[in-house]
Chain A
Amino acid sequence: MKYFVVVYERPTTTLLRIREFAAGDWASANRTRNDLELAYRLRPDVEIVLLGADSIEGLRSTHSRYFVKVADPDAPATLRVA
């Protein structure tokens, strides 16, 4: 199970950033989510979400709303490091 932290702009349904963590490393994902919440604390329209799945494809399947539109569609999703 890999963990991911997603930065998602709700009104435009745009995935701004996503960061992937090593399998089982929810503790690092937790720290990064805390840091990003602080960074985006004045942007209530931006969701910082901690998710986990076997792969990013699994996430795309069960949480598709975060992937409808990506800020940089040319970059491989897992490299858009937050």
Chain B
Amino acid sequence: MGLPVSKKELDRLGDRLRDAAVPSEEDLRLWGVVRPHFLAAMEEVRRVLHDGLGLRPTVREKNRETLVDKLRREPDMRLSRVQDIVGARVVRDMDLAGQDVLVARIVSSFPDHRVRDRRQQPSAGYRAVHIVPRLDGIPVEIQVRTHWQDRWAQAMEHLGDCWGRAIRYGGDPVEPTRMERVGDGPSRTRRDWVDLLLALHRDVILVEESGLAGGPRTAPGTPSPAELARLLAEFSTFSPMGPAT
């Protein structure tokens, strides 16, 4: 398998895609030659997760715009070092110990891999365990999330679509002082809503560490798991153009 271009050629392609306002036809053609190799690696990882481990992953390819955004956001990043051009996501109803067990099962199937535990080092509130196996040198990012981690992450991903992806990386929303209503809540600025969602990730941690799936409040002043689930669902279904369908 492997890639049909050298690491240097791949990095130069990434630089040109990053720097061009509109990518050249030649670069789009070259990217079109490279991409199927990433997809083949993604399919192989999916096969191992599904057929070998009995999991039900979903898989996705990072779209070109998002990839270019990443190269622009992280100026030192080179295309050959991007780990999540293709990836798989495994979401299960499990506690943190169960997540550790699942991660151990997955890594045992991929001899060449790296693990990044984002529960220990959350990135702008995002928590999960990422495993990056390399298949003939091609990285495929496997995101392993509990349901709680996934609920929070999907809420932030959706809000990023509505108010600008910068919020997913600790930045401000577009028009940060604009007033909005999320769910049945009061009117607040976008920045305040983002801060609230960021704060909720701490409540997710409390719920997960307490092992209380649907029980009472984990600590005074914090939402109960049921309230937390409701709040996250409201963020996930917020519609910037009126009621969601």
Chain A: minimal CB distance from B33 (Å): 11
Q: Hey, which chain A residues are within 8 Å of B43, CB to CB? A: 1, 24, 26, 52
Interface residues of B in 143-160 (CB under 8 A from A): 150, 154, 157-158
Please tell me which stretch of B70-78, B203-211, B232-240 contacts chain A, meaning at least 4 of its Cβ atoms lie within 8 angstroms of it.
B232-240
B58 interface hit (Cβ, 8 Å): yes
* B interface residue count range (under 10 / 10 to 19 / 20 to 34 / 35 or more): 35 or more
Question: In the complex, are the beta carbons of B39 and A50 less than 8 A apart?
Answer: yes
Interface residues of A in 7-33 (CB under 8 A from B): 10-14, 24, 26-27, 30, 33
Task: Knowing A13-B240, A30-B36, say if A62 contacts B158 (CB, 8 Å).
Answer: no
- In this assembly, does B35 line the interface, its C-beta being within 8 Å of a C-beta of chain A? yes
Interface residues of B in 104-151 (CB under 8 A from A): 150
Given the known A-B contacts A30-B36, A51-B59, A63-B60, are A68 and B157 also in contact in the complex, defined by CB atoms under 8 Å? no
What is the CA–CA distance of A26 and B40 in the complex, to the nearest angstrom?
8
CB of B64 closer than 8 Å to a CB of A: yes
With the chains together, A1 CA to B65 CA distance in Å?
25
For window 46-76 of chain A, which residues contact chain B by CB distance below 8 Å? Answer: 47-54, 58-59, 61-65, 68-70, 73
Tell me if B61 counts as interface (CB < 8 A to partner A).
Answer: yes
Count chain A CB atoms within 10 A of each CB in B22, B32, B58, B240 and give the residue with the most: B58
Q: Which residues of A contact B35 (CB under 8 A)?
A: 30
Contact A30 B39 (CB under 8 A): yes
The DSSP consensus for interface residues of chain B is helix
- Of all chain A residues, the one with the shortest Cβ separation from B158 is A65
For B46, what are the chain A residues with a Cβ–Cβ distance below 8 Å? 1, 52
Chain B contacts of A13 at CB under 8 A? Answer: 158, 161-162, 239-241
Q: Is B237 a contact of A68 with CB atoms below 8 Å?
A: yes
Interface check B16, CB cutoff 8 A: no
B230 interface residue (CB < 8 Å to A): no
The size class of the interface chain A forms with chain B is 20 to 34
A78 within 8 A of partner (CB)? no
Q: Shortest beta-carbon distance, A42 to chain B, in Å?
A: 9
A13 to B162, CA, bound (A): 7
A45 CA to B91 CA, complexed, in Å: 28
Q: How far is the CA of A52 from the CA of B49 in the complex (A)?
A: 13
Chain B residues, Cβ within 8 Å of A48: 63
Cα A73 to Cα B243 in complex, Å, equals 13
Given contacts A13-B240, A52-B46, A68-B244, contact A62 B58 (CB under 8 A): yes
A47 neighbours in B (Cβ, 8 Å)? 63, 65-66
Q: Hey, which bits of chain B sit against chain A, CB under 8 A?
A: 22, 28, 32, 35-36, 39-40, 42-43, 46, 50, 56, 58-61, 63-66, 89, 91, 150, 154, 157-158, 161-162, 236-237, 239-241, 244-245
18 other A-B residue contacts (CB within 8 Å) besides A1-B59, A52-B60 = A1-B43, A1-B46, A11-B161, A12-B240, A13-B162, A24-B43, A26-B43, A30-B36, A49-B63, A50-B60, A50-B61, A52-B46, A58-B56, A59-B58, A62-B58, A64-B154, A65-B161, A68-B236
